[in-house]
Amino acid sequence: MIKNIFIMKSNTGELIFYKAYEDVFNVKLTSSFLSAIFSFVKQTLKTEELSEIEVGLFRFIFEIEKIKQDELLFALFSDRTDNLVELRNQLREIKTQFLNKFDLDLLTDNYNGEISKFLDFDKNINDIMENGNQLVSDDIKNDLLNIFNELHTFSSFVVSSALLTQTGRVIVSNLEQDILQEIIRLLEGRFLSGNYRVNELISLEEFGVLSLNGISNFISVILFKKNCPFETALIISKRFSNRLQKLIC
C-alpha cells in the first residue's frame, strides 16, 4: 500500500509537494533524509541513478528529473511487498503530469519557496490513483470468475490460475500467495531488464508446470500438476487465454 508521496528539490531538500495516505513519520525529517541519501549516492558512489531503496518492511521508489542546474526528486513510499512495476508506472505518471502542469521556471530561477501554488496537484494524484484501481468492471470480473471455475472442472491437471496485468497487478487469482509472489518477482525482473511484455512462457517449477500467456495488457496464468505433459498444458493454456481475450479485449 502506498503510504506517502514526495516531490522535492533534491539538492536542497526543500519539499515542494507532499501527500500522505498514512501518517507514518515526520515529513521534514524524511525529506532531509531523502536529500541526504541522494547526495550520498552522487558524491560517494559517483552516480546519479537512484531507483529504489528498501528499509525494513518498506520501500522508497525514486524518479529524478533535471531542470537546468537543478533536480527534482519524486519519491513514493510503500510496503516492500507492493508491486514494484505498478508503483514505478504510477510514479512516472505523477512526474509527467507535474512537469506538464507547472511552469518549470517556478521551480528554478524564479523559485521563492512558496509552495501553495502546487497544492492543487493533489487532484492529479487522486485521478492517477483512481484510474489505476479498477481495470475491469464488476460484471466482467464475474464473467471471468465463471471462466476460471470452468477451467478447474475441465482438467484434473489444473491446480490454480490467475489473471494479471502485464505489470503484475492481480485481477483474479486463486494461486497460493508464495507462488503469486514468485510470478510477480519474475515480471518485475523482466520489466527492469527491458522486457515489458510476456507473450508466452511455460516452465517446470518445484511447485508444478507454470504457463503464462500474454493477452494484450494482461497475462493468463495456469499452474498445472508436475506430471502434466507440456503439450497438454500448452493446449489448455491457449484455449483458456483465447476465451479470456474475447471477454476483456
**CATH number for the domain including 102?**
3.30.450.70
Distance of CA 140 to the CA centre of its chain: 23
Terminal C-alpha separation, the chain: 28
62 strand-pairing partners: 75
State the pairing for strand pair 218-224/158-165.
antiparallel
**230-248 helix and 138-154 helix, angle to the nearest 10 degrees:** 160
Q: Are residues 125 and 6 in the same domain?
A: yes
- Say what the pLDDT of residue 244 is: 93
Sign for the CA dihedral angle at 55, 61, 66, 71 comes to: negative
Q: What is the CATH number of the domain that holds 161?
A: 3.30.450.30
Residue 123 confidence class, pLDDT cut points 50, 70, 90: very high
> Residue 155 sits in which domain range?
138-248
**84-101 helix and 177-192 helix, angle to the nearest 10 degrees:** 50
pLDDT per residue as tens digits for the range 188-217: 778 777 787 899 999 999 999 999 999 988
- Say what the pLDDT of residue 168 is: 81
Q: Are residues 127 and 189 in the same domain?
A: no
- Say what the pLDDT of residue 20 is: 85
Angle at 89 between CA 25 and CA 5, to 5 degrees: 20
Question: Could you tell me the three cell numbers for 247?
Answer: 471477454
Residue pair 151/222 in contact by the 8 Å Cβ criterion: yes
The domain boundary, picked from 133, 161, 186, lies at 133
